[in-house]
Chains A and B, each alone.
Chain A
């Protein structure tokens, strides 16, 4: 994404479009992997509510946060994929791609979603492993 925004600004339209398609594809891969993970979690009864698998105190609160945070993140990524895909499509017009502020703003949004995941990942996945 960062490469795409810089390339678009420098007028290298074809490379920028390719960057945006790759970015959207990687976002989609993230969602698909998350989907498999969700299927696993559901199979292991890790959805808070009746039949929740772990009796330990606080576990249900953690998993509520896990689902809430990752689902909101998934919605953000989904919006991001749509916004990023718009760039090469609207940007078939070379002038639009190299001049529209939408390119930079979409980049900012994508990196904002990224920045959130950077914090969420250690909080949700790395705690209690040692």
Chain B
């Protein structure tokens, strides 16, 4: 194998494998922390770790980190719509009498 080929192979393998390892570490962390009693913080911690994992997936696996600004914007609009849906759902949920 020539040095050139080896460099490309490394470039291909490095980012996905490192991301995958990071995802596994975060998975172990979120499972471990789920058994630690933190009260309301448990859900927040779990969702924060999930957001971090999704950031890895979206930025590296889906390659938005190298994407053009307009592509990133288009992807971010998806989150905007999701925010609308949650907003409408929670406004219903929170405004109901218990």
Contacts and interface: CB of A to CB of B under 8 A. Distances in A.
B3 interface: no
Main secondary structure of the interface of B (DSSP, over half): helix
A10 interface: yes
Nearest to A128: B42
Contacts, number: 66
Interface in A116-130: 118-119, 121-123, 126-127, 129-130
A122 B38 contact: no
A7 interface: yes
Contact of A122 (B9, B34, B35, B36): B34
Interface residues of B, number: 29
B50 A121 contact: yes
A119 B16 contact: no
Interface string A92-130: 000000000000000110011011001101110011011
11 contacts: A2-B16, A10-B12, A108-B62, A112-B62, A115-B57, A127-B34, A127-B46, A129-B34, A129-B42, A130-B34, A130-B42
Interface of A: 1-3, 6-7, 10, 12, 107-108, 111-112, 114-115, 118-119, 121-123, 126-127, 129-130
